[in-house]
């Protein structure tokens, strides 16, 4: 009879039994969902559950590497969970959980800290960025953040880690840590691949259409949020920067503002650029701004309403968190226990 090892069980679980490969991603609770992140990421994530076993963690432990107001952090976690569910990330088909509810993250992070080099962490661009923005609070957690992220990932043995391009370096470091650990103790961790979706829709800032729409630029009025009120969305579109011509024509290089509005309208309405150019023949930019604004309002209306309804249902959100923590812990604890054994900790 074949000997069934932990490894075969893990493998069977993540691939054969479910017939699916595994995906894991972490989302900062402080990250507000923008039109850009919705079209570039969240919308696609909802569809992944049919093909993959998906784990999504709201990473509260990462959030405290910069100072947070406790009540606000709590509120944002409920809001983030509600928005993810309202975007179609169904808690019955995906494992949705809060990082601190699964202690294995902190436990494995400590171990991995001891297998991560000072020099490696010093080279992380997010650390350099964030420490220059928070010069009065360059704490050890901010520095060792990537070891915690490596723990988040390696605990679930994912095949793919969907992230924005800025996170590629952290996934590569995760692989380096895993290779180092496996080199000493055998085949403990599975090496994950970053999964950077071809952002068919790279949505640009409405005020600065040459830069990506980003939550860091929220104050300039060029960034639209899923939870924004319809009148605020319309105001942002009406003020969108265009150019001094009058014709609605796609030319991302010379007409970035108009092309971005066309892109947004196209993704929301399903019409291609040719059809849009025809639709607006002889009409001004004002009309395009209004139509694009209306399309986004209609796209977000059901999501915003559902998220608002869910935010009002704390009991449901807590039940989702509890269920997610239970499912995530089951997988995470198996990996942790294997690691503890390998490094010589005593199991009681």
Catalytic residue ranges: 130, 212, 215
Binding at 153: pick from ligand LTN, ligand ATP, none (beta carbon under 5-8 Å per type): ligand LTN
How many residues bind ligand LTN (CB under 6 A)? The answer is 13
Identify which of residues 126 and 207 has a Cβ nearer to ligand LTN in the complex. Answer: 126
Stretch that binds ligand LTN, among 65-73, 159-167, 281-289, 337-345 (CB under 6 A): 159-167
What is the separation, in whole angstroms, between the first and last Cα of the chain?
29
Determine, following the binding rule CB under 6 A, whether residue 149 of this chain makes contact with ligand LTN: yes
Task: Give Rg (Cα) of the chain.
Answer: 22
Find the part of the chain contacting ligand LTN (CB under 6 A) among 24-32, 240-248, 279-287, 321-329.
Answer: 24-32
Length of the chain measured in residues: 348
Rank residues 216 and 220 by Cβ distance to ligand ATP and give the closer one.
216
Q: Which residues pair with 195 in a beta bridge?
A: 162
Per-residue interface string for the shown chain with ligand LTN, residues 91-130, x marking contact by CB under 6 A: ----------------------------------------
Give CA–CA dist 171/63, Å, rounded: 18
> Hey, which residues between 49 and 68 contact ligand LTN (CB under 6 A)?
59, 62
Nearer to ligand ATP, 133 or 235 (CB): 133
Return the percent helix, strand and coil in the chain, to nearest 5: 60, 10, 35
What whole-number distance in Å separates Cα of residue 96 and Cα of residue 239? 37
Nearest distance from C-beta of residue 102 to ligand LTN, angstroms = 12
Q: How far apart are CA 321 and CA 81, in angstroms?
A: 9
The single residue among 22, 23, 26, 45 that binds ligand LTN, judged by CB under 6 A, is: 26
Which of 34, 80, 167, 242 is close enough to bind ligand LTN by CB under 6 A? 167
Nearest residue (beta carbon) to ligand ATP: 40
Exposure string (b/e) for 239-254, b if CB count within 10 Å is 16 or more?
ebbbeeeeebebeeee
> Which is closer to ligand LTN, CB of 240 or CB of 339?
339
Where are the alpha helices (H) located in 21-167, listed in sequence order? 35-37, 43-48, 60-63, 70-86, 104-113, 118-122, 125-133, 140-154
Residue 175 sits in the site that holds ligand LTN (CB under 6 A): no
Q: Which of 299, 300, 290 is nearest to 237 (CA)?
A: 290
Is 42 near ligand LTN (CB under 6 A)? Answer: no
Q: Which is nearer to ligand LTN, 22 or 259 (CB)?
A: 22
Do 96 and 320 touch, CB atoms closer than 8 A?
yes
Binding site for ligand LTN (CB under 6 A): 24-26, 28, 59, 62, 149, 152-153, 161, 163, 167, 170
């Amino acid at each position: 009879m074949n000997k069934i090892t932990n490894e075969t069980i893990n493998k069977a679980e993540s691939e054969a039994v479910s017939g699916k490969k595994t995906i894991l991603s972490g989302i900062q609770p402080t990250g507000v969902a923008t039109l850009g992140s919705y079209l570039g990421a969240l919308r696609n994530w909802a569809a992944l559950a049919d093909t993959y076993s998906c784990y999504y963690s709201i990473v509260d432990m990462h959030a405290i590497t910069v100072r947070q107001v406790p009540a606000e952090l709590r509120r944002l976690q409920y809001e983030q969970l509600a928005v993810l569910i309202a975007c179609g990330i169904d808690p019955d088909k995906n494992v949705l959980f809060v990082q601190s509810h699964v202690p294995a993250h902190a436990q494995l992070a400590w171990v991995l800290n001891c297998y991560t080099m000072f020099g490696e962490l010093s080279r992380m661009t997010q650390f350099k960025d964030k420490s220059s923005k928070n010069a009065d609070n360059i704490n050890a957690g901010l520095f060792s953040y990537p070891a915690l992220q490596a723990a988040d990932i390696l605990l679930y043995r994912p095949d793919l880690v969907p992230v924005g391009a800025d996170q590629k370096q952290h996934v590569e470091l995760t692989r380096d840590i895993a290779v180092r650990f496996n080199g000493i103790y055998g085949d403990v961790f599975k090496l994950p691949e970053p999964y950077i979706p071809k952002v068919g829709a790279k949505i640009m800032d409405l005020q600065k259409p040459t830069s990506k729409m980003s939550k860091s630029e929220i104050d300039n009025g060029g960034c639209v949020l899923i939870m924004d009120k319809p009148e605020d969305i319309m105001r942002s579109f009406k003020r969108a920067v265009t150019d001094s011509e009058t014709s609605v024509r796609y030319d991302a290089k010379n007409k970035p503002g108009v092309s971005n509005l066309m892109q947004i309208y196209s993704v929301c309405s399903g019409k291609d650029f040719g059809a849009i150019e025809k639709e607006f023949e002889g009409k001004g930019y004002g009309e395009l701004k209004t139509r694009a604004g209306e399309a986004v309002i209609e796209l977000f209306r059901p999501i915003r309403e559902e998220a608002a309804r869910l935010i009002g249902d704390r009991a449901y959100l807590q039940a989702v968190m509890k269920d997610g923590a239970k499912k995530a812990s089951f997988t995470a604890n198996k990996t942790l226990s294997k690691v503890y054994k390998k490094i010589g900790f005593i199991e009681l």
